[in-house]
Amino acid sequence: MDGDGTQDARGTHANPVPRPAGPPEVPLVPPRPAGAPGMPPPPDGSAFLAWLRTPRPEALPGVWRFGHRPRPEEEPERVPGRQLFSGALIAFLVGWLIWSLLWNGYLGGWWLLPLYAMIPDAWVEPHSFAAVVVVYAYYVLVAGLLMVGVGRLGRWGEIWRRYGPPAWRPAPRTAERPPAPEDDPATWPALRAAGAGDAADRLAADARAGLMRDVDHARITRAWQGVQSGRHPLESFTGTVLGHGAAACPHPSGARDLPARQARHDLVTGQVRLGTTADDARNPYAYRGTGLALGPELLATSLVAVGPAGSGKTGSVVRPIAESLCLHALAGRAAVVVVGAAGAGAGPADAYDVVVRIGNPDSAYDLDLYGGTTDPDEAAAVLAEALAGDLADPHPGSDSRRATTVLAQLLGPFRAVHGRFPSVPELRGLLDGAPGPLAELRRGLTETGQESLLRELDARERQLAHPGDVGGVLADRVALLDRPAFAGFFDTSGQSRPFTLRALDHPVRVRVDLPARGHADASRVLARLVLAQFTASVTEREDRSLFACLVLDDATGVVTPEAVRGIQRLRSANAGAVLTLRTLDDVARPLRGPLLGTVGCRMALAGLTPWDGQDFAEVWGKEWTEARDVTDRQIIAESPAGKAWHAVRRAITGKAPTARAVTVRQVERERWSASELAHAMPAGHAVLSLTDVRGEHAPPLLVDLRG
């Protein structure tokens, strides 16, 4: 064996064979790699820190604030290029003429008096070098002053900036100075000021190491706001942050991001970018070319988007908004309910905590038909809106009180006897007036001595004989849900996992898939049910700091008088609704004006019909604008020479000599007319007006949803 402990091929322990001298051996075992093959390098926090430190100045409603550079309110006057060059040439010729007159003495020698006053008499000698230098320097000074004045008059500087070398090369990007430590958001100055320096150091270290994401930053910021408001103790927050770092204060699902993102989000401002405001003369100058974004402060006033199929309602509006609200829910800021047809493109199932697939036997969750309430009157009001809300008089002041009374006369006695609300088949039998269910219900009330509820049941039985009874209509609507496809749903026995919208007190992400194929009428009933339960539950929340939003894709047949009143109450409850329609014809004529007047954000997408455009034009109103009327008047010559000159001009140009008169006046015109909305809007665009919860609003803006 050699000195290094290896055995030679020809030697033994007793008779070792010496090795020949040579280069040192290469070790047989390679060094251990730093990471697994094919693994990317560890993340760097520079990208996150750059995102966090990007300025987000205050801006007008709807402006994408991430890296925004504010523009002036009014468009600066831009002189046309032809006029600019002609003015510069004329100014140069005027300057040349003045200098020629001065140099040749046609204007006198007064401009040489300062020269004679400054130089000594001894310099005024023939062939004096000092005199020649001073005199020509004075000439250059006067010529330079003259050219400066002429250049300012002829706007030579604007020509240089617009057409010279500064316009040829891209503008240099100024290096931004790093923020001061007390102003750097990456160092969490608010935590340090409150005495949580250790927690701030831990979060700053995770940010630098690339362990923090935008959702983590938003979630921990939300938790810190709870500490400041007194809902959570400071010691508990500090201990959680020190123990888990960027993963502290997790969402109940444990998720820290969505499986995939389609739109651009900025969780510092809470905005999602939908597109780019077009550089169009109809848009205010401050909005032109800026990003168009929506946030909770705008969605809290609700949004209605109208456009035909294929105009981009789902892909360009519903999907980005739903994605943004899901991110807000992961950050503990919002609760979202997305309702649409199965496979409509509201996002993958992994992006939601609860997915209710009505009519799908594989659905893990059920939908509570009564909204989780134990009050029969409240359950009757919500269910009546779902079943017969569209049958009420389509007038803003009407209601579905008769349907509510009929349901309350049955739900109250049934719950008193059975301790629960009836299932769909049981409710259908009661509304049909079948003698068996009513007799059984009467027997139970008699045994328990419920005299007041017996009177309710007697009134229901008397109304069954009237020809105008609403019970038959309600029974027909309930029959839409009493189908084999829904046999396993709307269970009231407690054997399923029903979801109730009273859970919106928590940051939950919910998706409800409606059975649109073959059950269109049932889908409309369920959509009205979800909207009614949403408006009833969010207004009763105790903690309204959590933003709640309902995203309803295709609200056909959902807008009722009670729904309009419910949407009006959402703004004060820190909640909002997003509704999409193919056309306003899906809304009753008396409700179109109240609907568009109730919501704060209105969107008309490309392909709108002229009669739909007329409703938007009326709600957007008119504005004062400057109108220019140009009139060409033929010039009539009086003298023979003038007539001859006009004949020559007519022979050359082929037109009679005219004089142009321009009249400028202020007129009141529609911001967007119905014809412009129907025919002048490019494909992939939309006209959107915005209003936030503070009352600040943006006029109708032409937006490119593809930008």
Say which DSSP state 318 is in: I
CB atoms within 10 A of CB 46: 10
pLDDT at 11 over 60: no
What's the pLDDT at 38? Answer: 45
Residue 127 — pLDDT band, cuts 50, 70, 90? low
What's the pLDDT at 1? Answer: 40
What residue has token string 């919208």? 501
Convert the pLDDT of each residue in 205-249 to its tens digit. 999 999 999 999 999 999 999 999 888 899 999 999 999 999 999
Angstrom distances, CA of residue 437 to CA of 380, 414, 443: 19, 10, 10
Residue 701 — pLDDT band, cuts 50, 70, 90? very high
User: Could you give the 3-state DSSP secondary structure of residue 448?
Assistant: helix
Q: How many CA atoms lie within 13 A of 247 on its CB side?
A: 6
Which of 587, 210, 112 has its CA nearest to residue 395? 587
CA distance 686 to 353: 32
CA distance 217 to 187: 12
For residues 582-591, give the mean pLDDT.
Answer: 92
What residues contact residue 477 under an 8 Å CB cut-off, 6+ apart?
A: 387, 388, 525
Convert the pLDDT of each residue in 414-459 to its tens digit. 999 888 999 999 999 999 888 888 889 889 888 888 888 888 888 8
Residues 421/415, Cβ–Cβ less than 8 Å: yes
Angstrom distances, CA of residue 68 to CA of 102, 293, 703: 53, 12, 17
Q: Model-level pTM greater than 0.85? A: no
Q: What integer best gives the mean pLDDT of the chain?
A: 85
Containing 305, the helix (H) or strand (E) segment is strand 303-306
pLDDT at 29 over 50: no
Residues 276/291, Cβ–Cβ less than 8 Å: yes
β-strands 547-552, 697-704 pairing: unpaired
Bridge partners of 355?
511
The angle at the Cα of 330, spanning 367 to 695, to the nearest 5 degrees, equals 90
Convert the pLDDT of each residue in 297-341 to its tens digit. 999 999 999 999 988 899 999 999 999 999 999 999 999 999 998
